[in-house]
Structure 1
Amino acid sequence: MKFAIVYLLTSWVLLTNSVHAESLVLRVGYDDYCPYTCANGPQKGFVIDILNHILAPRGMKIEPVIASWPRIKSMAKKGSLDLILPVNQLETKELGIQRTQQSVGSSEAAYFVHKDSSWAFKGIESLKSQMIGTIQGYTYPAPLSTWLADPQHKKMQIILASDQGNQRQIKMLASARVSVVPSERLVFWYMAHTLSLAHNFKEAGVLEMPRDLAQFYIGVATKQQPLAQDLLKWLDQGLEDIKRNRKLDDILKIYGLGPS
């Protein structure tokens, strides 16, 4: 892959003008965060579909690198990935990487419980009576993040690796192994429906997301700056175009999302 990049770094003008050039394969890192990015099944995730729609006309392909989120972030920080997705603003600062200006989604989160539970979120201290299911390496907003990091609260958590972690914690909530799951709403409900378990759950409170966590972007992690700058330009142009021409609606419909 590196020899192709070295060769193509001298050919950006050709690529920009859509003149014939060798195909560039980009290493794209993500975890199982369906429907944004899906590790299993026929669908790859709507962010991957968006990415392919933008890159394919330029003769570029992606090489998926699917692993736990902590490992994906570590690879991005080292520059062994070209792209990482979806990422929020706080994560791009943490990793020291650039991101698109155009977002690929808005994040809303909630506290999920079993439908028979009488618990409701009434401030952070109300979590003390619960067993919380969390995902290793995920960024939770304050004050929840501070509460989870407190050593006194570790015994009240079951922390799962992010590879299949979202599906596992949904199954654990259904079987009462955990009593509360703080999660991104779209991911939770999509996976719960996929597992045919959605009828078991309800939302027990809103998990407020600050601005630096509320939007998802495509992170550009490559250390090759000519490539990084072109990718940022192409991706932002492509995202703007598919939102304007409503191609995004067509992609989202595949996942049962977007306007009806």
Structure 2
Amino acid sequence: MLKDKIMHRSLFITIFFAGISLANVSYADTLKVCYDQWAPMTIFPSEESAERGVVIDMLDEIYTSQNYELEYFEVPLARGLDMVANGLCDMLPEYIVSKSAEKDFVYANEKTFAYTTAFIVRIDDPWRYDGIESLKGKHVATGPGWDYSAASIDYQNYIDDPKNASLVDVIAGYDDVVERIFHMISEKRIDLYADNDLVLQHVLNQTNLHDTLKVVRPGLDRKLIEIPIFSKMIPTAKRQELIRIWDEGRLSMKGEKEKKLFERYQVGFAESLSCRYPACR
């Protein structure tokens, strides 16, 4: 009888601790991250490369250091925004500052980066951006629905104006649109294209068109401020904790850690003396 009681108690203890262990597994801290392709900041991994980009590497380091597991969903931006709004993803690591977005999302306090814009043109083209008038007679490339208003309302108005339709080429497709634009500029089918300076550097490196194309600065009027957004479907206390982790982690990565991330992808802010790569000169 005593043996039976001991065995029963031992079995109960085993089941009790097994239950705790399973509960811990079931409720492990997992951060569901939606993101779109915007290399080198955010990259969809492929068979050739597991790289996810500067911002995703940063995000991963910040949250894994706090014992979070990250689950990634590589989706177009519009779908990613919907998934965060509906609670299917907890956050999206970069989105422009927008008052209208605040009804669906909660912004972190610390931005990912403030990006300067630049243009890509043919290497023998002396053109420089000097306001909207300097676009006269130039074939400008953009993508379907792309919005530049955060960097320049005047530039966005120029792109949208039906009077300029014959000089604004909207490039669509399923492959890498920006790489296609670079090749079209090289082939003299388009004259110029504006984007985040780091994106232009990265694509120039990827296409190996340094002898044909160049990045020209300055770009558009303002810097692009990009900040992580979090779902309003997350309980408030949990969301505040996730934002706190991001804010403190992002601040801790300024300086040397940030520099090493850029070096991994061979890009850098042009105004930084540490940028030694051809594409950012």
Q: CA RMSD in A?
A: 2.7
Question: Hey, which bits of structure 1, 4+ residues long, moved more than 6 A?
Answer: none
Q: Answer yes or no: is the 8 Å Cα contact 1:35–1:190 preserved in 2.
A: yes
**In structure 2, distance between residues paired with 1:159 and 1:197:** 22
1:37 aligns with 2:37: no
List per-residue Cα deviations over 1:35-61 (Å, max 9, x = no partner). Answer: 111124332101111111111133322
Greater CA drift, 183-192 or 247-256: 247-256
Q: Deviations over 1:90-141 (max 9, x none)?
A: 3873664222222222211122211133443343133241221113343312
Deviation of 1:257 after TM superposition, in Å, equals 4.4
Question: Does residue 1:151 correspond to 2:162, yes or no?
Answer: yes
Name the SS for the 1:199 alignment partner: coil
User: Which residue number in structure 1 is paired with residue 28 of structure 2?
Assistant: 23
TM-score, normalization by structure 2: 0.74
SS across alignment from 2:218: strand
Gaps of 5+ in 2: 1-23, 269-273, 276-281
Matched residue of 1:42: which SS? coil
1:25-174 alignment runs, 5 A limit: 25-40=30-45, 41-90=49-98, 93=101, 96-140=104-148, 141-161=152-172, 164-174=176-186
Paired with 1:207 and 1:66, the residues of 2 have a C-alpha distance of: 29
Is the 1:31–1:162 contact (alpha carbons within 8 Å) kept by the matching residues of 2?
Answer: no
Query: Any stretches of 5+ residues in structure 1 without a counterpart?
Result: 1-19
Report the residue type matching 1:120 in the other structure.
R
Residue 102 to residue 162, structure 1, CA distance change in 2 (3 Å): farther
Indicate how the Cα distance of structure 1 residues 203 and 243 shifts in structure 2: closer, same or farther if over 3 A, else same.
closer
- Report the alpha carbon displacement of residue 148 of structure 1 after superposing the two structures with TM: 0.9
Residue 196 of structure 1, aligned match among 208, 223, 236: 208
- 3-state SS in 2 of match to 1:90: coil
TM-score (norm 1): 0.79
Q: Secondary structure at the match of 1:103?
A: coil
Distance 1:178 1:72, change over 3 A: farther
Shift, 1:170, TM fit:
1.8
C-alpha distance in 2 between matches for 1:139 and 1:91: 15
Question: Structure 1 residues 199-208 or 225-234, which shifts more?
Answer: 199-208
Partners of 2:102 and 2:221 in 1: how far apart? 17
Q: Is 2:258 the partner of 1:248?
A: yes
- Structure 2 residue aligned with 1:13: none
Counterpart in the other structure of 2:189: 177
C-alpha change, 1:226 and 1:161, in structure 2 (3 Å) is farther
**Any conservation in 2 of the 1:174–1:201 contact (CA below 8 Å)?**
yes
Q: Give the number of the structure whose alpha-carbon radius of gyration is greater.
A: 2
* Residues 83 and 222 in structure 1, CA contact (< 8 A), matched pair in contact too: no
Note the alpha carbon deviations across 1:68-106, whole angstroms, 9 max, x for none.
Answer: 333333433444321113222138736642222222222
Matching residue within 239, 242, 249 for 2:250: 239
Bigger Cα displacement from structure 2, 106-115 vs 33-42: 33-42
1:61 to 1:248, Cα distance in 2 relative to 1, 3 A? same
Q: Over residues 10-68 of structure 1, what are the superposed CA-to-partner deviations in whole Å (9 max), with x where a residue is unaligned?
A: xxxxxxxxxx6633332322222111111243321011111111111333222222233
Query: What is the CA–CA distance in structure 1 between the aligned matches of 2:267 and 2:216, rounded to whole Å?
Result: 23
Q: Cα gap change, 1:161/1:64 in structure 2, threshold over 3 Å: closer, same or farther? A: farther
